[in-house]
Structures are given as C-alpha cells and as structure tokens.
Amino acid sequence: MKASRPLSPHLSVYRFAHTMALSVLHRATGILLSVASIGAVSWLLALAAGPASYARVMGLWQSPLGWLVRVGLLASVAYHLCAGIRHLVFDLGVGLEKHTARRAGQWVIILALLLTAASVGWMCFAGGAR
C-alpha cells in the first residue's frame, strides 16, 4: 500500500499575486527571445546570400507587421533584462520581503516600458529603422 505523501505545491494552492505573473512573464519572454533568434539567423543568412535576399528580408522587417514584431521583441528584451536583474538581486538574498519584492516588480515594469519607449524612439527618430 502506498504511503500518503503530501503533493507538491500546485497553482491551485497559492493565491494569485502579481509577482507570480511577473515570474511567468519572465519565463515567457525568455522562450520568445529564444524563438526569435531564428529571425536573427534569417537576417544573417540573407546578408550572406547577397543583396536580393537581404532586400527581401529587410522588406519583411520594415513592413508594418515587421515593425510590430520588432517593437514586441524590444519590449521582450527590455522586460527580460529588467526582470533578470531583479532575479539576480533576489539571488543575493536582497529584497525578498513581500513589500520590497512587490515594489521591485513595479519598477521592472516601469523600466521595461521606458527602455522600450526609448528604443522605439531611437528607431523612429535617430535613423535606427534603416
């Protein structure tokens, strides 16, 4: 007969907290950025294949859908960077109190939005779109 052992904690055990959502989003952006590396490889392959291939890929990246994808990727990079730094600070044992962790999560979102806005502004106004 099997011994009755406690089950591992599951999502149904915990109450939802925005810090949980931030952690899930950090993992999701990491996966998204890994998948997006295929786009970077396609750009490099097109660059190596010659001007016609490069022009086709750049046409896709500069289309309205390409712009939307690039802004989404910029937001993912900004969020993943800020959340990663937050997790590194947590690994040092700093900021683990509930109030401090919640405040750090708010700062992650604010800084990620500011970094994204600055990057999009650079793309639009400083010639980064070329």
**88 found inside a domain:** yes
Task: Label residue 60 by pLDDT band (50, 70, 90).
Answer: very high
**30 found inside a domain:** no
**Total domain count, the chain:** 1
**16 found inside a domain:** no
Structure tokens at 29: 């952006």
What is the structure's pLDDT at 3? 61
**117 found inside a domain:** yes
Task: Label residue 14 by pLDDT band (50, 70, 90).
Answer: confident
Let me know how long the chain is. 130
Query: Could you tell me the CA-to-CA distances from 4 to 10, 12, 55, 56 in Å, in that order?
Result: 17, 19, 64, 62
**42 found inside a domain:** no
Q: Which residue range(s) make up the domain with 103?
A: 64-125
**36 found inside a domain:** no
**56 found inside a domain:** no
**91 found inside a domain:** yes
Q: Report d(CA 47, CA 53) in Å as an integer.
A: 7
Task: Label residue 92 by pLDDT band (50, 70, 90).
Answer: very high
